[in-house]
Amino acid sequence: MGVKYFFTIIAVVLFGRNMHSQTFVNTRQTLQTAINAAVPGSTIIVRNGTYNDFYASVTTKSGTAANPITIKAETVGGVTLTGDSRFTMKKSENIKFEGFVFDCTGSNTLIKLEACNNIRITRNVFELDTPVAIKWIVVVGTFDDYTFQFLSHHNRIDHNTFKNKFTGGNFITIDGTYSQDRTIGHQSQYDRIDHNYFYNNSPRAVNEKESIRIGNSQLCNSSGFTTVEFNLFEECDGDPEIVSVKSNDNLIRHNTFNRNHGTLTLRQGNRSRVEGNYFFGGGKPNGMMETQPIYTGGIRAYGTDHVIVNNYMEGLQGTVWDAPITLTQGEVITGQSTNTSLHYRGERITIAYNTLVNNAYGIEIGYPKADGSYNKRLADIKIANNIVVGSQNNLVKIYANQQGAVTWSNNIMYATGSAQIVTGGPAFTASEVLVQNPNLALSGTIWKSTATSPVIANGIPALTLTEDIDGQSRPALSNAGADHFSTELVTYFPVGISDVGPGSPEEMPLSVITSKVPAIVLYPNPTKGNFELALPNSESELNVEVYNIHGQLILNGTHQVVSGKIALSLENQPAGMYIVRINSSGKTQNYKVVKQ
């Protein structure tokens, strides 16, 4: 055999191994066969159409980060699954599931991940009309893994629509793996739930109807590191807890809650962070659960070491359990009971830089249940640099004596109409609450600080907060409330319907969004490949990074500025959207560019 011929064969073999195969299927049987044969890089495409009782199991299948196994509809939204359609994935990794419409009537979970990692469930629509209480998506371990060898982690549920849930169970349940006696549990970790639309979870149930539940009583001592961000929740009335957090170390940020009866609740577990969320009542009237009224609400918390910062609440009607911010007393103190289902009193919770405007009530502290079960006073609560503005009832209500348990610092409160600053407790000192008009003004539909708004010091020096709800820089001396007045570009806005669901755009990871530099002109945009940056200053060189929509860095380098411009190229990249990150004088800004 000649050398040339030999290397030709090797090249063909290597090329063949790197090719990403596509398999088209149109029956349940051919889908399962294709899944069984899948290898890293395989793409299984379900032909557009409607399929009844369409289900498959993915077991011990592994793609790679660079070459995942993809199971998708021929076009996003082009495949409708009816009847008892469902999917189960077990001990599998790096699989992408995309573009299906579940319009089902079965009695099974629609997608279940068992001991899986790096699974992405994206751009689907979920709806299930059934009389049975069903959790629609469940992330869990395996039920016989009593030595914790197969844990779930790093899964992503994004750009989906969940709608019209009329029976019990959650839209999404993040569960875990348990010891045989169920005394020890490990929650699935580092999962991300983002850019989804949650709509119409009703009617109200007593329990077990949260839109998202992270953990549970048996998992509340484990750490989830779950991130819930950039989602839109509307008309989610099914449970007092719209999002229920029942484990440690989770992050709930930059979501919008609109017209929901209930609250985002840190129900169990410790050290979670709630940041940059919007809560709107939207004029929704109060409802009833049996003989009890239910309201549009904000944030309720139990447990220890939580941080609640930079949140905005407007037009909420809630009180007691559903107040804009509420810390009731607890049933038990952390460390003094092994009954994890109880309500543990709040300890070492920081509530800072939140804006409460035009709500029926405000911050409510220390509610004791009438039967005497909630008799544990709060401990080491810090409430600082918040703005509370209202015209009715009370901006702050203290239900039971919390003297020494709550520290108030540098808050601004402004009562108009019949509103009172505080009831149930002593009047605030000037260092606790500055009674002054914060001079907010409407910016679009949001009440924001203005150039004449008071600037005050951080009331909690240990709290390091470098940005506000908009993603703008927050200096050491800043406005109170969620927004610091700034002329910098706004990074984060309230989440709207165009930002979520199957048709919404991809977003860059937050890790590449930081502080700002003066505006730079990028042109042409869209581009065929080559484009330029026109700079507003006289810098001689600039560091530029370019990311694709998956957050992968594709270009990185320092470029010389010639005649106030930098030339860049995407000639060798596929068509699509890219993020150009400019680094200048320790500050950065991101720009979108589209290659045609």
CA dist 346 and 308 (Å) reads 13
> How high is the pLDDT of residue 470?
95
H/E element holding 409? strand 406-409
Per-residue pLDDT, 550: 52
Q: Which runs of E-coded beta strand occur in 454-524?
A: 455-457, 477-479, 521-523
Q: Which residues make beta-bridge pairs with 365?
A: 327, 398
CA gap 507, 501 in Å, rounded? 12
Alpha helix positions (H), 23-155 = 28-37
Q: Which two tokens stand for residue 90?
A: 């077990």
Q: Which residue type sits at 347?
A: E
Residue 557 tokens read as 């380098």
Taking the C-alpha atoms of residue 188 and residue 117, their distance in angstroms, rounded to an integer, is 9
Q: Which two tokens stand for residue 79?
A: 């495949």
Q: What is the pLDDT along the chain (596 residues), one digit of tens a residue?
A: 444 444 444 343 344 444 579 999 999 999 999 999 999 999 999 999 999 999 999 999 999 999 999 999 999 999 999 999 999 999 999 999 999 999 999 999 999 999 999 999 999 999 999 999 999 999 999 988 888 889 999 999 999 999 999 999 999 999 999 988 888 899 999 999 999 999 999 999 988 999 999 999 999 999 999 999 999 999 999 999 999 999 999 999 999 999 999 999 999 999 999 999 999 999 999 999 888 999 999 999 999 999 999 999 999 999 999 999 999 999 999 999 999 999 999 999 999 999 999 999 999 999 999 888 999 999 999 999 999 999 999 999 999 999 899 999 999 999 999 999 999 999 999 999 999 999 999 988 899 999 999 999 999 999 999 999 999 999 999 999 999 999 888 889 999 999 999 999 887 544 444 444 455 677 787 788 898 888 766 667 888 888 765 556 788 888 888 878 888 999 888 876 677 877 766 666 667 777 76
pLDDT at 19: 52
Pairwise CA distance, residues 118 & 63, whole Å: 9
CA-CA distance, 99 to 308, in Å (whole number)?
35
Core vs surface per residue 258-273: b (16+ CB within 10 A) or e: bbbbbbbbbbbbbbbb
Q: How far is CA 256 from the centre of its chain?
A: 9
The predicted pLDDT at position 537 comes to 65
The answer to whether the CB of 409 falls within 8 A of the CB of 383 is yes
In three-state secondary structure terms, 276 is coil
Which pLDDT score, from 0 to 100, does residue 551 have?
A: 55
Which residues, at least 6 apart from 285, have a Cβ–Cβ distance to it below 8 Å? none
CA distances from 48 to 80, 98, 293, 579 (A): 8, 13, 46, 32
Secondary element (H or E) of residue 14:
helix 3-18
Specify the pLDDT at position 585. 61
C-alpha Rg value of the chain to the nearest Å? 26
Q: What is the pLDDT of residue 398?
A: 97
